[in-house]
Amino acid sequence: MSVKKFNPITPGLRQKTVIYNEELSVNAPLKSLTKGKGTTSGRAGTGTISVRRRGGGHKKKYRTIDFLRNKFGVPAKVAGIEYDPNRTAYIALLFYKDGDKRYIIAPEGLKVGDTVVSGEICDFKTGNAMKLKNIPIGTIVHNVEMIPLQGAKICRSAGSSVQLTGFEGVYSALKMPSGELRLIHSECMATIGQVSNIDHMNEVLGKAGRSRWKGIRPSVRGIVMNPVDHPHGGGEGKNKGCQPVSPWGQKAKGLKTRSKKKVSSRFIIRRRKK
């Protein structure tokens, strides 16, 4: 896998970079594991915009991913490593020995023809999934559950990973990519290794059109709006005579928005902000 650059023969190619991976399969996704995916364009059920700067984009199908990894003791062979337009990481197509087929988040280093398995205790090999209580301290894992049998919620994006640092009773201590130290129940499942496509952060879109393909619409600065549209608007020339706020007056820098009633807050040993 490498970062491919282009000759600057057009303005859009001057800064553009793409991730080139020879190991990706060129076949169409497995039809039985895909389904149609609509788009809301950032609008709620009433039709009002709830998420700004969303809309358009290329049509795509959703690949059903196995985040539970609950097929214990059945080995699976990696039939292909595929691109998924719905996420930054690559996905791996598994053919289980009993005939079942599933997609999983592909870890870095997993290749076509490899064998993976999930269970209570299995080999400490990239792609294998097991419970946190059976994983040695210091191991790099990803695809971690927050609640047992809920499915993986933590560390699913490209290049991300967490480190198991210790145990406290029925909980395991995990060091997050942000530096936060958090307790997770030891019965939760996790997958050995780091998420694939670690060069994703080095990709440069190069032109506005590639953002539109992804469904990202233009963002207009508040300072160039009229006073009726934004608190930063109005004035003669460029005027920065106010504290940065959102269009609805909420402070944009330094305001803590995390709810103190969050149940998960009590499981944080060390926060990412010191």
Here the CATH number for the domain that contains residue 260 is: 4.10.950.10
Domain limit, last residue, from 167, 201, 235: 201
Domain that residue 257 falls in: 225-265
Please indicate, yes or no, whether residues 186 and 248 belong to a single structural domain of this protein: no
Same domain, 197 and 231: no
Across the chain, which has 274 residues, the per-10-residue mean pLDDT values are 90 93 89 93 94 94 95 95 95 95 96 93 92 95 94 95 94 94 95 95 94 95 92 86 89 84 80 76
Backbone angles phi and psi of 11, in degrees to 5: -60, -35
Strands (E), 112-260: 115-116, 129-131, 140-142, 144-145, 152-154, 162-168, 171-175, 181-185, 189-192
Buried residues in 46-60 as b, exposed as e (16+ CB within 10 A): eeeeeeeebbebeee
Q: Which residues contact 205 (CB under 8 A, 6 or more apart)?
A: 16, 211
Looking up residue 53, the CATH number of its domain turns out to be: 2.40.50.140
CB–CB of 110/94 below 8 Å? no
30 with 141, same domain: the answer is yes
Angle at 23 between CA 17 and CA 26, to 5 degrees: 85
Q: Is residue 217 part of a domain?
A: no
Q: What is the pTM of this model?
A: 0.89
137 plus 40 within the same structural domain: yes
Is residue 270 situated within a structural domain? no
Both 196 and 238 in a single domain? no
pLDDT at residue number 266: 83
Is residue 70 domain-resident?
yes
Is residue 190 domain-shared with residue 259, that is, in the same domain? no
d(C-alpha 63, C-alpha 193), whole Å: 22
Vertex 38, ends 41 and 218: CA angle to 5°? Answer: 25
Domain identity same for 171 and 261:
no
Same domain, 231 and 189: no
Amino acid type, 268: I
Same domain? 240 vs 118: no
Kindly give the residue spans of alpha helices, DSSP state H, lying in 173-235. Answer: 208-213
Of the residues 156, 185, 201, the one at which a domain ends: 201
Residue-by-residue DSSP string for 48-63? -BSSSSB------EEE
Q: Are residues 13 and 142 in the same domain?
A: yes
Whether 107 and 235 map to the same domain: the answer is no
Domain count, the chain: 2
Kindly state whether residues 120 and 21 are assigned to the same domain: yes
CA distances from 64 to 91, 102, 122, 253 (A): 10, 8, 25, 38
Residues 6+ apart with CB under 8 A from 202: 3, 17, 19
The answer to the question of residue 82 being in a domain is: yes
Ranges of H-type helices in the chain: 11-14, 208-213
Which of 76, 84, 65 has its CA nearest to residue 21?
Answer: 84
pLDDT computed for residue 274 by the predictor: 65
